[in-house]
Amino acid sequence: MEPRMVSREAFTVVGLKCRSSIQNNVIPQLWDDFNKVCASIPHTVTDLTTYGVCFYGDGDDPAGDVFSYLAGVEVANADDIPAGMEAISIPAGDYAVFEHRGPLDKLPGTYQKIMAQWLPGSAYERVGTLDFELYDWRFRWGQPDSLLEIWIPVREK
């Protein structure tokens, strides 16, 4: 599990938000809801890429038990956000980018390997309180050859 290292400029994602946990995962329902309304988001950058942003807000648990999640798309600007949606700014920075292959029910295991194995043994430390998943043309719902990327903000130790 070796990531590629990428420097990325800041960008903005608009979408629907929920609070979730490992024990009570409501993210699949959030994606179902988002897919019904995503075409109403103005100023989108691309139709082929969506983002799942994991972050910690008020009342969330930085240890990972309870966190906020936004399913969204990148926008050129966050003007005219549809009712019920939110915008989140993703900061510029250096990211360790991991590939998750296979179905989404295996995604928690990939995160576990990243956080418990790769990160402690690497020359990097996590920065900030958010990371994101990038879903593009390689993502195929439920298929064994599906691929998504996990972007973790890092800096050298």
105-156: pLDDT as tens digits: 888 899 999 999 999 999 999 998 899 999 999 999 888 889 999 999 999 9
Report the C-alpha gap between 134 and 4 in whole angstroms.
Answer: 14
| Residue 64 pLDDT exceeds 60 | no
In this prediction the pTM is 0.92
pLDDT at res. 58: 67
Across residues 67-87, what is the average pLDDT? 95
> What are the backbone dihedrals phi and psi of residue 123, each rounded to the nearest 5 degrees, phi first?
-90, 15
| Residue 4 pLDDT exceeds 80 | yes
Q: Indicate which CATH number applies to the domain containing 134.
A: 3.20.80.10
Across residues 10-38, what is the average pLDDT? 93
Q: Comparing 34 with 56, which gets the higher pLDDT?
A: 34
Report the C-alpha gap between 129 and 112 in whole angstroms.
Answer: 17
Element (H or E) spanning 129, and its range?
A: none
| Residue 24 pLDDT exceeds 90 | no
DSSP letters of 55-121? E--TT--TTSSEEEEEEEEEES--TTPPTT-EEEEEPPEEEEEEEEES-GGGHHHHHHIIIIIIHHH
Nearest to 27, CA basis, from 85, 58, 70, 66: 70
List the single range of 34-43, 62-71, 113-122, 126-135 with lowest mean pLDDT: 62-71
Distance set, CA 104 to CA 1, 41, 49, 57, 136 (Å)? 17, 25, 17, 24, 14
Neighbours of 154 (CB within 10 A): 21
pLDDT at res. 119: 95
Number of structural domains found in the chain: 1
CA dihedral 76, 153, 156, 116 (to 10 degrees): -170
Across residues 23-40, what is the average pLDDT? 92
Domain that holds residue 42: 4-156
Model confidence at 100, pLDDT cuts 50, 70, 90, reads very high
Question: Dmax of the chain from CA atoms?
Answer: 44
Across residues 2-24, what is the average pLDDT? 93
pLDDT at res. 95: 98
